[in-house]
């Protein structure tokens, strides 16, 4: 008898491109998650009843590791519902295809080439041949990192909530932070821990690690243990440098603008202000946690956070946005043009022109996506503020999950717009465009003469 096939071969056959596979599998995951949240015993009795659109929104937010919610997760959902949500976050963070491949390993089935291509698209691996060892390393590294984070958080939560509840809270938020999920089930949210170094720094480090991406983390770990054998990739160095600069600038801006704002940092001690500013500089990268009232922040800070959310995390990570490497390439290309240089050089390596074009295409598509969704939200929810809706739009598109206390005020069309936005933000608008673009069945090898008379800028 043949072994059961955990991944339908039709779905992973050569007839589907990696981009199509990624888009369709995430859509299926959202539908399954929505169905699970409709099960009896998932919503708390006596709590605000959630509609099917609310549950679709919640499942999408979990699978797409965003964290936007229409109701407080701890109050609206039972323990069963919370467990379903955090499992969806874990699956969405690691990637649905990653879990499917894990099941294939457990049943002893080998992956064909097209299935490996699907994993390459999802994990942003550099070679098809190295996908499977990379997958094993990712699963191990993820579980160990989440376990360490849960242990650290348990030192605070167990004394506060007791052994069973404390361990549950520690595991839930470690998984939510590392996968950049942003879901919180703590009474009072994260605000009580604004000046708590153990909780804030543990969550911040988990968010940063998840936002760096698996490839970057594993590259640095392997280089640490064997620097001669495993060199640091230019991509790893570029993303870590860009991440550090963005974190430093974000922290500095929040400190300067919010220092005397008694509704945010002004009420905290001096060390608490630095800690809270750093934490809020980390979370717009794609995490969705907040230890201060986002809605009470000054407009300049909101503008900064929108920018950080738009840039997002790194490629191949649990975060969204245009990605830090994309941003770095765009800035580098602009600086090159100012200096009159033709090629972009990063760490003594030449960046391919196709990567520069890809960075521009991704940014353009993201901008058009955000602008279109923002216009739709303004049209369907005219009574809500311009800034609030813009913040909500970018947060959903970048799968961040931060909100200016706006999500629960949106009507059903608004929630559906954000649902589609979170889905597109997770798989990437460029991936979606490539997956379902109309392609000519005839190969064209015609080269046309260049046109140099088109004015740009």
pLDDT tens digits for 70-94?
A: 999 999 999 999 999 999 999 888 8
Q: Quote the mean pLDDT of the chain.
A: 83
Q: What's the CA angle centered on 415, arms 412 and 364, to 5 degrees? A: 135
Higher pLDDT, residue 301 or 48: 301
Comparing C-alpha atoms, which of 390, 396, 368 is closest to residue 377? 390
**How would residue 32 be classed by pLDDT, with cut points 50, 70 and 90?**
very high
**How would residue 242 be classed by pLDDT, with cut points 50, 70 and 90?**
very high
Task: Note the residue count of the chain.
Answer: 457
Cβ contacts of 428 within 8 Å, gap of 6 or more: 362
Angstrom distance (rounded) from CA 306 to CA 395? 8
Q: What 8-state DSSP symbol labels residue 77?
A: B
**How would residue 299 be classed by pLDDT, with cut points 50, 70 and 90?**
very high
Q: Considering only 146-150, 230-234, 407-411, 430-434, which range has the smallest mean pLDDT?
A: 430-434
Looking at residue 347, what is its pLDDT? 76
Asked if residues 71 and 95 have their Cβ atoms less than 8 Å apart, the reply is: no
**How would residue 231 be classed by pLDDT, with cut points 50, 70 and 90?**
confident
Asked if residues 200 and 291 have their Cβ atoms less than 8 Å apart, the reply is: yes
Cβ contacts of 272 within 8 Å, gap of 6 or more: 194, 195, 265
Neighbours of 31 (CB within 10 A): 14
Angstrom distance (rounded) from CA 109 to CA 3? 8
Residue 430 reports pLDDT greater than 50: yes
**How would residue 246 be classed by pLDDT, with cut points 50, 70 and 90?**
very high
What is the dihedral angle through the alpha carbons of 247, 249, 250, 251, rounded to the nearest 10 degrees?
80
When pLDDT is averaged across residues 160-172 and rounded to a whole number, the result is: 95
Residue 103 reports pLDDT greater than 50: no
Q: Could you give the C-alpha distances from 128 to 16, 106, 368, 432, in angstroms and in order? A: 17, 21, 32, 21
Burial profile 114-131: b = 16 or more Cβ within 10 angstroms, e = fewer? bbbbbbbbbbbbeeeeeb
Residue 301 reports pLDDT greater than 80: yes
Q: Which percentage of the chain shows pLDDT scores above 70?
A: 82
Residue 4 reports pLDDT greater than 60: no
Element (H, E) at 21: helix 18-37
**How would residue 2 be classed by pLDDT, with cut points 50, 70 and 90?**
very low
**Cα 348–chain centre separation:** 30
Looking at residue 119, what is its pLDDT? 46
pLDDT digits (tens, 9 = 90+) for 184-201: 999 888 999 999 999 999
pLDDT digits (tens, 9 = 90+) for 198-209: 999 999 999 999
Q: Which percentage of the chain shows pLDDT scores above 90?
A: 51
**How would residue 130 be classed by pLDDT, with cut points 50, 70 and 90?**
low
**Cα 368–chain centre separation:** 19
**How would residue 99 be classed by pLDDT, with cut points 50, 70 and 90?**
low
Angstrom distance (rounded) from CA 162 to CA 442? 66
Residue 114 reports pLDDT greater than 60: no
When pLDDT is averaged across residues 314-331 and rounded to a whole number, the result is: 84
Asked if residues 37 and 81 have their Cβ atoms less than 8 Å apart, the reply is: yes
Residue 128 reports pLDDT greater than 60: no
| First-last CA distance in the chain | 66
**How would residue 380 be classed by pLDDT, with cut points 50, 70 and 90?**
very high
When pLDDT is averaged across residues 373-396 and rounded to a whole number, the result is: 95
Asked if residues 214 and 124 have their Cβ atoms less than 8 Å apart, the reply is: no
**How would residue 333 be classed by pLDDT, with cut points 50, 70 and 90?**
confident
3-state class percentages of the chain: helix first, strand second, coil last, to nearest 5? 65, 0, 35
The whole model's pTM is what?
0.86
Asked if residues 109 and 5 have their Cβ atoms less than 8 Å apart, the reply is: yes
Neighbours of 326 (CB within 10 A): 23
Looking at residue 321, what is its pLDDT? 87
**How would residue 263 be classed by pLDDT, with cut points 50, 70 and 90?**
very high
């Amino acid at each position: 008898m043949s072994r059961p096939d955990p991944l339908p071969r039709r779905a992973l056959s050569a007839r589907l491109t990696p981009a199509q596979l990624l888009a369709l599998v995430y859509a299926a995951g959202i539908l399954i998650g929505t169905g699970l949240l409709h099960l009896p015993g998932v919503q708390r009795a006596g709590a605000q009843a959630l509609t099917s659109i609310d549950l679709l929104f919640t499942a999408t937010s979990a699978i797409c590791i965003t964290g936007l919610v229409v109701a407080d997760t701890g109050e609206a959902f039972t323990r069963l519902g919370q467990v379903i949500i955090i499992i969806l976050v874990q699956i969405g963070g690691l990637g649905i295809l990653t879990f499917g491949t894990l099941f294939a390993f457990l049943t002893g089935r080998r992956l064909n080439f097209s299935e490996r291509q699907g994993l390459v698209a999802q994990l942003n691996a550099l070679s098809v041949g190295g996908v499977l060892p990379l997958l094993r390393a990712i699963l191990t590294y993820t579980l160990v990192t989440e376990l360490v984070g849960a242990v650290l958080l348990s030192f605070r939560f167990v004394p506060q909530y007791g052994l069973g509840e404390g361990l549950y809270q520690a595991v839930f938020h470690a998984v939510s932070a590392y996968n950049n999920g942003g879901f919180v089930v703590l009474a009072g949210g994260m605000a009580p821990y604004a000046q708590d170094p153990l909780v804030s720094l543990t969550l911040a480090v988990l968010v940063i690690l998840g936002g760096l991406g698996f490839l970057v983390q594993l590259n640095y770990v392997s280089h640490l243990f064997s620097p001669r054998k495993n060199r640091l990739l230019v991509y790893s160095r570029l993303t870590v440098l860009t991440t550090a600069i963005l974190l430093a600038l974000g922290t500095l801006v929040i400190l300067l603008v919010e220092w005397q704002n008694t509704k945010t940092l002004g009420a905290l001690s001096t060390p608490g202000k630095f800690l809270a500013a750093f934490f809020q500089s980390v979370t717009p990268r794609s995490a969705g946690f907040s230890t201060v009232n986002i809605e009470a922040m000054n407009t300049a800070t909101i503008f900064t956070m929108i920018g950080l959310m738009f840039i997002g995390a790194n490629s191949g990570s649990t975060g969204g946005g245009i990605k830090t490497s994309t941003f770095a390439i765009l800035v580098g290309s602009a600086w090159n043009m100012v200096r009159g240089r033709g090629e972009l050089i990063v760490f003594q390596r030449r960046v391919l022109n196709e990567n520069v074009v890809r960075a521009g295409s991704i940014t353009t598509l993201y901008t058009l996506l955000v602008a279109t969704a923002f216009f739709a939200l303004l049209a369907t929810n005219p009574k809500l503020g311009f800034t609030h809706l813009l913040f909500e739009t970018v947060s959903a598109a970048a799968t961040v999950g931060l909100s200016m206390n706006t999500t629960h005020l949106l009507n059903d069309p608004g929630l559906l717009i954000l649902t589609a936005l979170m889905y597109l933000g997770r798989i990437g608008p460029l991936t979606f465009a490539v997956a379902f673009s109309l392609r000519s069945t005839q190969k064209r090898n015609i080269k046309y003469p260049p046109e140099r008379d088109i004015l740009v800028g």
